[in-house]
Structure 1
Amino acid sequence: MVRLTSLSRSVAGSVVIVTGAASGMGRATAHLFADEGARVALLDVNDPEAVVGEIVAAGGEAAGWVLDVADPAAVEQVVAGVVQRFGGIDILVNNAGLVAPAGIGDDGWQAAWDRTLAVNVTGQALMVRAALPHLRRAAAPRIVNIASTEGLGATAGAGAYTASKHAVVGLTRSLAVELGREAITVNCICPGPIRTAMTAGIGEDDKAKFARRRVPLRRYAEPEEVAQMTLSLSLPAASYCTGVVLQVDGGLRVQNT
C-alpha cells in the first residue's frame, strides 16, 4: 500500500539521551524508546546498568553512564562519551530531577534550594548546551524537558521544587524561540500524580483519596503513560510543535475543585 503521508512516526535508529533513567519515568522512557528501535543512552546519578541490562535482554540497544547533571565538567565528559559510543545525538530527554521539601523558614532551606535548582534547572540547561552541537547535525532534533504540574501551580513547603519546575517551563519556552530557526524543537511535559519513587512514600489510601478528590480520571498514572507523551513529542512527525507545555495529569489542572 502506498503511503499518502510524508512525515515519519518512527524513532528507529535515533540516538536518544534520557537523564534520570535508572528508575521511574526515566526508566519507562528508556524502555519505550528502545522498544521503538532507538539507541538509548541512560544517564543517572545512580548506576543505570540494571535498566541497560533489561533493555539489552529484550533485544534493544542501550548503554549507561553515571552522571550528576549538576556537574558541568561531568556533563561535557558523558555527552562526549555518548557521541563516541553512538555517533551522534538526535533526541534529548531531560528527565532527571529531585524534590527536597523545605519551608522558607526551615533550617535546611538553603541546602534544599541550592541542590534542587542545580539539578532540576541548571542540569537541564547544561545538558542542552553539551548536546546542542550534535543536535544541530541531526535530521529531526528534539528536546523534551520534564517539569511538573508544580510548574503551573504551587504547594506549600515545596518552594524550591515549585520554583524549579516553573523555571523549566520558562527555559523550555525560551529555548523554543532561540532554537526554532535551526528546526530544533523544544517542548515540556508537566506530569501530575505519577507512581514513581517521589510518590512511593504516600500511602495507597491517601493516593486513592487524593485521586478521587482532585483528578478527573480518579487515579495516579503509571510512568509509561508519561513516557508515551515524551515519545510523541520526539517523533520526526512532531516537526511543527515547539514551545508546548503538555499536561499529563489526568485532568488535574482543569478541574476547579
Structure 2
Amino acid sequence: MSEFKQLSRSVQGLSVLVTGAASGMGRATARVFADEGAHVAVTDVSADGAKLVADEIGASGATARAWALDVGDASAIDRVVGEVAAHFGGLDIIVNNAGISVRVAIDDPAYEDAWARGIAVMLTAHPRIIRAALPYLRKSPCPRIVNIASTEALGATALHSPYSAAKGGVTSLTRSLAVELGREGITVNCICPGPIRTAITERIPEEHKIIYAKRRTALGRYGDPEEVAHMTLSLCLPAASFLTGAVIPVDGGLMARNA
C-alpha cells in the first residue's frame, strides 16, 4: 500500500493575476484569494475600479495592487504581466476572467464590430496573457491557469453568437493547452458560470431573474460571484495538481436540468 500523501490546500504567498477584477466574479475572486493569503494583482479596464478593489483588500490586511488593463490591447498585456511579476517576485496563477456583454443579431450592421471586440476580449486575450505569463509560470512551484467561460459555451441563447463563439473557444483552448502544458506541471482548467448576479445581469429585472432561475436551474436561484470564486480557488490549490483540462459548470444545475 502506498504512503498517504499530505497535499497542501493553501495558496499562502502565491501570486495571482485576475483580469476583469473591478466587479462581479473578478472582484470576488480577488478577495477570496487575498483572504487565503495570496498576493493579488487586481487588473481591469477601469483603473479606478481596480484601485478600489485593491484598496478594499489592503484595508483587510491582505496584499493587493491595482493595474489598469484592457485585455484587448496586446502591448498592454505584455507590460502589465511583466510589471506584476516584477512587483511580486514571480507569478503563479492566472485567472482569465475579463468579459463583456455582446448582444447583436447576425444581420445587424454593427455585427462585425461586435464580433471583433467580443472575440478580442473574451478569447484572443487568453492566450496572449498565458504566453506573457509562461516564463514565470514555468518557475512556479504551483502553476495554475483558470479560464472563465460560460454556460453559453455549452448551450446557446439567440442574439449572443459572438459571446457564445468566444466562450466556446475558451473551452477548446483550455483543453488544448492542458494537453500542451501538462508535462510541465502547469494545469489549465475552465469554469462555465451559469446565471450569476454580476454587472452584466444587473440590468435584468429581479422578477425575470426569479422566473428564469426557478424554470431553468436545479437550485431555483441565481448564483453569487463568491460561489464561482471559491471554485476558482479550488482549482488553484497545490492539492489540485492532477486536475487539468476540465470544463466545470458552476450553474446551479442549469445544464443538468432537462425540463
Which of these residues, 167, 170, 173, is aligned with residue 172 of structure 2? 170
Q: Secondary structure at the match of 1:229?
A: helix
Distance in 1, Cα, partners of 2:171 & 2:101: 17
Aligned pairs for 1:137-152 (under 5 A) are 137-152=139-154
Structure 2: tracts of 5 or more residues without a match = none
Q: Secondary structure at the match of 1:198?
A: coil
Residue 52 (str. 1) matches residue 72 (str. 2): no
Q: Secondary structure at the match of 1:207?
A: helix
Distance in 1, Cα, partners of 2:180 & 2:202: 37
Partner of 1:41: 41
Q: Secondary structure at the match of 2:255?
A: helix
Partner of 1:154: 156
Distance in 1, Cα, partners of 2:90 & 2:73: 21
Identity of aligned residues (%): 59
Partner of 1:112: 114
* TM-score calculated relative to the size of structure 2: 0.97
Aligned-partner residue type, residue 21 of structure 1: A
Distance in 1, Cα, partners of 2:161 & 2:210: 25
Q: Cα deviations across residues 151-193 of structure 1 (Å, max 9, x unaligned)?
A: 1111110000000000000000000000001010000000000
Aligned pairs for 1:66-215 (under 5 A) are 66-215=68-217
* TM-fit CA distance, 1:5: 4.0
Aligned-partner residue type, residue 71 of structure 1: D
Q: Cα deviations across residues 10-68 of structure 1 (Å, max 9, x unaligned)?
A: 00000000000000000000000000000000111011000000000001100010011
Structure 1: tracts of 5 or more residues without a match = none
Distance in 2, Cα, partners of 1:122 & 1:92: 15
* TM-score calculated relative to the size of structure 1: 0.98
Q: Secondary structure at the match of 2:130?
A: helix
Q: Is the 8 A contact 1:90 1:135 kept in 2?
A: yes
Aligned-partner residue type, residue 159 of structure 2: G
* TM-fit CA distance, 1:72: 1.0
Distance in 2, Cα, partners of 1:100 & 1:211: 21
Distance in 1, Cα, partners of 2:36 & 2:116: 37
Aligned-partner residue type, residue 239 of structure 1: S
Q: Is the 8 A contact 1:188 1:245 kept in 2?
A: yes
Farther-moved stretch of structure 1 (99-108 vs 168-177): 99-108
* TM-fit CA distance, 1:255: 0.5
Q: Secondary structure at the match of 2:40?
A: strand
Q: Secondary structure at the match of 1:138?
A: coil
Distance in 2, Cα, partners of 1:211 & 1:49: 33
Distance in 1, Cα, partners of 2:71 & 2:214: 36
Q: Secondary structure at the match of 1:200?
A: coil
Partner of 1:22: 22
* TM-fit CA distance, 1:99: 1.7
Distance in 2, Cα, partners of 1:119 & 1:141: 23
Runs ≥4 residues deviating over 4 A: none
Residue 32 (str. 1) matches residue 32 (str. 2): yes
Distance in 1, Cα, partners of 2:213 & 2:199: 18
Distance in 2, Cα, partners of 1:141 & 1:207: 37
Aligned-partner residue type, residue 20 of structure 1: G
Q: CA RMSD in A?
A: 0.7
